[in-house]
């Protein structure tokens, strides 16, 4: 029996219509450094999105599913593009402003970007590569500032427009076309830490369903009373779906633009009073040091979401104990839109038991099916003990990469996405990751979790950051190397840290090799860059202390 239900497509345009009418008075606030923050109501975002769509169609000739890229910070105009481009049937491509020039050219060509919207503060960066982006015909510069370097670099092939002039006088409504909900709405490339970046094309349907999950209480629990501080870049897995979820739920948005250091983030929190925020652990580590040293009013924060890499339990406790802020740990991937799991304890869990759930990567929602598999792809029990690679599937998980006719066998198996993450799955759906498969340290036939060592080290009061990688060892194949950033004003030796680790980690896992560093190198989205740490070690660029076995 077929259902009697209407077949209304799940569309980004519907999310825009809803947010800009029902939640017309919600606002997006963009931080302006020392100046007055810029404010725009969701009603105005709706009108501006219509004007942008008209401009893109009439002046830039955007038709069908052509790609419109953004090269932007988190701000109002980026939000407008998030809605205008997919709603008009085109495909939004969020370029990662921190990619190397060759990678930027690669992804822009691969995606066949026709238009690029760029913040004027990023003009010098884009000017370095624009002439090599073969499909680009139009660039739109947002904000004041000198577009001359871009005009000079663009040549005759590319027209350079200014946002204000381009949008001026355009109609404030647009008859959004009926798109097939399975068509691409947005495009995001993995950051390509291994090999070339790979493209994931989100559909209108996947965005809609994913946004609902972001709003669910067991997701990020976004509601009409919330003000979300979106620190995670809008080019990092669509800012974890928060912009769309905000328009669905009516939550307001606070955008940091280019002011991503701890001091301005703290100012934003005090001034704009967000109820929640989202970022990778390194941002929170920096903010913690700032909050410890300054008196900042963070009382508006109900909770903050930390994901993208494993959140050290010590960070969660420090925020809770010293600042009364609850950190919620979450796991995801660009390939998963990105929400995979959120670590909220089950009903009835309190005290230590609740904390143990909060340390995990979280509980999978109905929209994500997960399993653990062994080395040959054989499914292992979800018993919270069997360790293997995590595989997932579901309506907001990609089934292949852009441009591939068939799923790449290294990343997909029998309709499942191979996450490359190793860990366990409990019977009640909690994922606990021990490591990325490529970061696990293989020592004499045994596995050492680099994340476990990092978490244990970061619990030491003198340690600000610790990044552990496997390095070649004549006897064991591989052994851990611990690189440590010491907290300002603190002092600690490698022996002391090793002895501290010995209280919580098996003796055979203790690193012999230690290096004290100014900073851990970070990837384009702010995660520890273990590839760079390994290559610095291989090049002899680290000053390593080797301890003998105690
Ligand atoms: P990139 O691969 O460029 O870092 P993604 O953000 O898509 O970009 O990375 C997804 C990966 O990040 C996951 O497969 C996992 O290895 C890691 N990750 C994300 N969240 C967590 C988390 N909470 N704990 C541990 N690892 C995480």
Instruction: Give the position, in ligand 1's atom list, of the atom nearest the Cα of 335.
Output: 7
Positions of the chain with pLDDT lower than 50, given as ranges: none
**C-alpha 326 to ligand 1 mean position (Å):** 21
The partner residues of 416 in beta bridges, in order of sequence, read 413
pLDDT value for 145: 84
pLDDT at 146: 87
Reference 214, options 398, 74, 392, 339; nearest CA is: 339
Peptide linkage before 338 cis (omega within 30 of 0): yes
Atom from ligand 1 closest to the CA of residue 338: 7
Task: Say which of 335, 452, 454, 465 is annotated catalytic.
Answer: 335
Tokens for 178, please give them. Answer: 């009926």
3-class DSSP string for 324-342: CCCEEEEEECHHHCCEEEE
Cβ distance 473 to 505 under 8 Å? no
Helix (H, G, I), strand (E, B) or coil at 157: coil
Rounded Cα distance, 12 and 91, in Å: 11
**Whole-prediction pTM value?**
0.96
The angle formed by the CA atoms of residues 126, 129 and 130, to the nearest 5 degrees, is 75
Domains of the chain and CATH, by start:
12-203 (3.40.50.12780), 360-436 (2.30.38.10), 441-546 (3.30.300.30)
170 lines ligand 1 (CB under 6 A): no
Pocket-testing residue among 421, 524, 531, ligand 1, by greatest number of atoms within 8 A of Cβ = 421
Ligand 1 centroid to 100 CA: how many Å? 20
| Centre of ligand 1 from the C-alpha of residue 550, in Å | 35
Q: Which distant-in-sequence residues (6+ apart) come within 8 Å of 1 by Cβ?
A: none
In this predicted structure, what is the pLDDT of residue 195? 72
| CB-ligand 1 contact for 247 (6 Å cutoff) | no
- The active-site residue out of 190, 285, 298, 424 is 190
Q: How far apart are CA 14 and CA 32, in angstroms?
A: 30
Active-site annotation holder among 442, 493, 495, 508: 442
The structure tokens listed for 237 are: 């897995």
Q: DSSP label at 522?
A: B
CA-wise closest residue to 142 among 117, 125, 169, 166: 117
Q: Which of 331, 330, 339, 329 is nearest to 396 (CA)?
A: 339
> Which tokens in the block code for residue 51?
């004007």
Residues 6+ apart with CB under 8 A from 199: 107, 110, 111, 187, 188, 189, 401, 402, 403
- Distance (Å, whole) CA 387 – CA 384: 8
Contact between 460 and 429 under an 8 Å Cβ cutoff? The reply is: no
Q: CA distances (Å), 465 to each of 61, 230, 481, 484, in order?
A: 49, 23, 14, 6
**How many angstroms separate the alpha carbon of residue 81 from the centre of ligand 1?**
26
* % of the chain beyond a pLDDT of 70: 99
Q: Count Cβ neighbours within 10 Å for each residue of 252-287 and write b for 16 or more, e otherwise.
A: bbbbbbbbbebebbbebbeebebbbbbbbbbbbbbb
Give the ligand 1 atom nearest the CA of 236: 6
List the one residue out of 228, 285, 286 whose CA is nearest residue 262.
286
d(CA 277, CA 260): 13
| pLDDT score, position 351 | 97
pLDDT tens digits, residue range 63-80? 999 999 999 999 999 999
Strand bridging mode 412-413 / 327-332? unpaired
Q: How far is the CA of 333 from the centre of ligand 1 (A)?
A: 5
Distance CA 67, CA 87 (A): 13
Distance CA 358, CA 34 (A): 37
Neighbours of 432 (CB within 10 A): 21
**Separation CA 306–CA 29 (nearest Å):** 22
Q: What angle (nearest 5°) sits at the alpha carbon of residue 236, between those of residues 101 and 199? A: 65
Ligand 1 within 6 A of 420 CB? yes
Q: Quick one: CA torsion of 199, 421, 419, 68, rounded to 10 degrees?
A: -20
pLDDT reported for residue 511: 97
């Amino acid at each position: 029996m077929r259902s009697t239900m209407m077949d209304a497509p799940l569309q980004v345009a519907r999310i825009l219509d809803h947010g800009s009418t029902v939640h017309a008075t919600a606002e997006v606030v963009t931080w302006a450094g020392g100046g007055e923050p810029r404010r725009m109501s969701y009603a105005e975002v709706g009108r501006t999105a219509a004007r942008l769509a008209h401009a893109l169609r009439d002046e830039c000739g955007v038709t069908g599913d052509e790609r419109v890229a953004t090269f932007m910070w988190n701000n109002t105009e980026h939000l407008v593009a998030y809605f205008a481009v997919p709603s008009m049937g085109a495909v939004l491509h969020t370029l990662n402003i921190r990619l190397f020039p060759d990678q930027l050219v690669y992804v822009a060509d691969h995606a066949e970007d026709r238009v690029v919207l760029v913040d004027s503060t990023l003009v010098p960066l884009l000017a370095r590569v624009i002439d090599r982006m073969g499909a680009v015909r139009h660039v739109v510069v947002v904000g004041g500032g000198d577009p001359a370097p871009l005009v000079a670099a663009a040549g005759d092939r590319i027209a350079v427009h200014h946002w204000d002039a381009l949008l001026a006088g355009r109609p404030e409504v647009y008859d959004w076309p009926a798109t097939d909900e399975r068509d691409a709405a947005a495009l995001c490339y993995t950051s390509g830490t291994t090999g070339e970046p790979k493209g994931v094309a989100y559909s209108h349907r996947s965005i809609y369903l994913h946004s609902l999950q972001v709003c669910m209480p067991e997701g990020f629990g976004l509601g009409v009373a919330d003000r979300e501080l979106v620190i995670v870049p809008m080019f990092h897995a669509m800012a974890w779906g928060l912009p769309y979820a905000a328009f669905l739920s009516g939550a307001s948005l606070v955008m940091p633009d280019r002011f991503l250091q701890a001091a301005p983030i703290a100012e934003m929190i005090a001034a704009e009073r967000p109820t929640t925020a989202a970022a990778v652990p390194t941002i929170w580590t920096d903010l913690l040091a700032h909050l410890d040293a300054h008196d900042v009013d963070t009382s508006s924060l109900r909770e903050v979401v930390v994901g993208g890499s494993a959140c050290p339990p010590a960070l969660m406790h420090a925020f809770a104990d010293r600042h009364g802020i609850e950190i919620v740990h979450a796991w995801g991937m660009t390939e998963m839109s990105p929400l995979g799991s959120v670590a909220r304890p089950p009903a009835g869990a309190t005290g230590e038991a609740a904390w143990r759930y909060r340390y995990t990567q979280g509980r999978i929602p109905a929209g994500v099916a997960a399993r653990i598999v062994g080395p040959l792809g054989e499914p292992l029990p979800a018993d919270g003990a069997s360790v293997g690679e995590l595989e997932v599937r579901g309506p907001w998980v990609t089934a292949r990469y852009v441009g591939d006719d068939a799923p790449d066998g290294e990343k997909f198996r029998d309709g499942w996405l191979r996450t490359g993450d190793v860990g366990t799955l409990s019977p009640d759906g909690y994922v606990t990751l021990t490591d990325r498969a490529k970061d696990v340290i293989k020592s004499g036939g045994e596995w050492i979790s680099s994340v476990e060592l990092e978490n244990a080290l970061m619990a030491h009061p003198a340690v600000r950051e610790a990044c552990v990688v496997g390095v070649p060892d004549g006897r064991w194949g591989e052994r851990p190397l611990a690189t440590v950033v010491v907290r300002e004003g603190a002092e600690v030796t490698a022996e002391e840290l090793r002895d501290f680790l010995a209280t919580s980690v098996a003796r055979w896992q203790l690193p012999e090799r230690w290096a004290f560093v100014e900073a851990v190198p970070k990837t384009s989205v702010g995660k520890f860059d273990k590839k760079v740490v390994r290559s610095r070690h291989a090049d002899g660029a680290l000053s390593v202390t080797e301890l003998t076995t105690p």
